[in-house]
């Protein structure tokens, strides 16, 4: 049975980079709602048209839309597949719906990986990424509002998963390789790979 994990951390903490490294190493699917949404926007789909302005403002797109998107993907992957969710859930409502689905299928998460990075470093990384990739939501105003949205909507999920004893706090500072090694220590201890 594949490893099922999720990356929980503020924007700029390295969820995407580290999620991909972990998934390549374990040969499992990396499901990033941000990436899926950016693809919808680029392709001008109905989801994309609904999400574009919201994403550009650094707000969250409606729960029902992301929940439908993620559940579709999970259904396609089949019951035994391993995966890492990155950027989902981001609200308590999303987390509860995901938990209910997991309970119904008898398949809960193995681990929630929380990357710990302080705010100054998050802002520095996001500004740098904005310069390199041109992501339109990586400007200082939008970065600040995304961090605020994180504190308000997503931070409560830390307690939600901590209460279930599956939250692992990992130091997210240092080089990409250093952080990847810390994550691997945690995951290999849980999954026995």
Q: Which is nearer to ligand AMP, 37 or 183 (CB)?
A: 37
Site size toward ligand AMP, by CB under 6 A = 18
In the complex, minimum distance from the CB of residue 14 to ligand AMP, in angstroms, rounded to a whole number: 12
Contact characters 44-83, ligand AMP, x per CB under 6 A: ----------xx--xxxx----x-----------------
In the complex, minimum distance from the CB of residue 32 to ligand AMP, in angstroms, rounded to a whole number: 6
In the complex, minimum distance from the CB of residue 169 to ligand AMP, in angstroms, rounded to a whole number: 19
Q: Which two tokens stand for residue 41?
A: 């926007």
86: left (phi over 0), alpha (psi -120 to 50) or beta: beta
Residue 85 has φ and ψ, to the nearest 5°, of -90, 135
Contact characters 10-29, ligand AMP, x per CB under 6 A: -x------------------
CB atoms within 10 A of CB 27: 8
Give the H or E element holding residue 75.
helix 63-77
SS3 at position 1: coil
d(CA 13, CA 60) in angstroms, rounded, equals 18
Q: Which residues bind ligand AMP (CB under 6 A)?
A: 11, 33-34, 37, 54-55, 58-61, 66, 87-90, 94, 137, 146
């Amino acid at each position: 049975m594949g490893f099922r994990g999720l990356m929980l951390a503020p924007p700029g903490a390295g969820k995407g980079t580290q999620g991909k490294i972990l998934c390549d190493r374990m040969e499992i699917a990396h499901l990033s709602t941000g990436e899926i949404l950016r693809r919808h926007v680029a392709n001008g789909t109905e989801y994309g048209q609904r999400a574009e302005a919201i994403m550009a403002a650094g707000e969250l797109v409606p729960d029902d839309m992301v929940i439908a998107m993620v559940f579709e993907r999970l259904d396609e992957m089949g019951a035994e597949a391993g995966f890492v969710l990155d950027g989902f859930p981001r609200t308590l409502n999303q987390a509860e719906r995901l938990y209910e689905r997991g309970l119904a299928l008898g398949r809960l998460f193995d681990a929630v990986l929380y990357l710990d990075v302080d705010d100054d470093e998050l802002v520095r990384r996001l500004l740098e990424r904005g310069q390199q990739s041109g992501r339109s939501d990586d400007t200082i105003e939008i970065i600040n509002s995304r961090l605020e949205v994180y504190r308000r909507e997503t931070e409560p999920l830390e307690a939600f998963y901590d209460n279930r004893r599956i939250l692992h706090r990992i130091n997210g500072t240092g080089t990409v390789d250093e952080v990847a090694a810390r994550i691997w220590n945690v995951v290999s201890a849980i999954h026995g790979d």
